Chain A
Amino acid sequence: MLQLRFFASLRDQLNCDGESLDWNDNFSIASDVRKVLVARGTPWDTLSKSTVLIAINQEMGNDETTINDGDEIAFFPPVTGG
């Protein structure tokens, strides 16, 4: 099982702040999860934007970052703090 989380404008677009996603043995890197979500169609296809950032277990990653069963994967827009 993966724990997915969505933040800020992305959460608003998806109208969803997170979900549990069943682990799939075809999952290997973060982009595998991104593709599954994008395939759901509108509004999930917004996740295909290159500006969407990915954190795995609260550390910045990218599409190529290896994922494992039990990971928390967060998707969010570029940050704007400070």
Chain B
Amino acid sequence: MNISISIQSDDFSHNEEYQKLCNDSPRIGAIVTFCGLVREFDDSNGKGLFLEHFAGMTEKTLENICKQAAERWPIISMRIVHRIGAMELGEQIVFVGVNSAHRKAAFHACEFIMDFLKTDAPFWKKALTKDSDYWVEAKASDTEAANTWKK
């Protein structure tokens, strides 16, 4: 089982990440990827986001989430790329990719990783708007999504 985690300010290539998951092992029969983008907000008043993180703890937390996913499903590889710094509307923020022999494990693990990344990984978003900047509040729905895996 391989885990790759990258926290970076540069944009990433979805295709390159996907190819790395493809070329991993002849046992792979399924790849599931998720990509999160900066979407429009505040009635089109939003200009972009600034992402801050807790260097060191972020990587440890994400690795731990991947290990938990690998304990639940037969995963071959997991790749996470999360960007930090300033991003404009439409830019990619996060990539999670998982491969496995079969689709169900890959689907579940990808969603599991993303749900816990949302609630446990120490990232914070600052919304940049035409008028002012403000810190984004955490959503209860994200906590509920992660909690469904604990049942």
Docked-complex contact A82 and B124, CB < 8 angstroms? no
Chain A residues lying within 8 Å of B138, measured Cβ to Cβ, are: 77-80
Given contacts A7-B124, A77-B124, A77-B135, is CB(A82)–CB(B53) below 8 Å? no
* In-complex Cβ contact of B60 among A59, A76, A81 (8 A): A59
B94 at interface by CB-CB < 8 Å: yes
A76 to B124, CA, bound (A): 9
Q: A-B contact count, CB below 8 Å?
A: 71
Which A residues are CB-close (under 8 A) to B56?
Answer: 58
CB distance from A80 to the nearest CB of B (A): 5
Q: Number of A interface residues at 8 Å Cβ cutoff, please give it.
A: 17
Interface string of A27-55 (1 = CB under 8 A from B): 00000000000000000000000000001
| Residues of the B chain whose Cβ atoms lie less than 8 Å from the Cβ of A80 | 123-125, 135-139
Contact A82 B137 (CB under 8 A): no
Q: Which residues of A contact B136 (CB under 8 A)?
A: 80
User: Interface SS of chain B: helix, strand, loop or mixed?
Assistant: mixed
User: Which residues from chain A contact B142 at a C-beta distance below 8 Å?
Assistant: 82
B139 CB to closest chain A CB (Å) equals 8
Compute how far the CA of A79 lies from the CA of B142 in the bound complex, rounded to whole angstroms. Answer: 10
B90 at the interface (CB under 8 A from A): no
Which segment of B9-17, B19-27, B67-75, B114-122 sits at the interface? Answer: B114-122
Contact B124 A79 (CB under 8 A): yes
Q: A8-B126, A80-B136 are in contact. List 4 more A-B contacts (CB 8 A).
A: A7-B52, A9-B124, A74-B54, A82-B114
On B, residues with C-beta under 8 Å from A are 36, 51-54, 56-57, 60-61, 82, 93-94, 114, 117-126, 135-139, 142
A interface, CB within 8 angstroms of B: 5, 7-9, 12, 55, 58-60, 74, 76-82
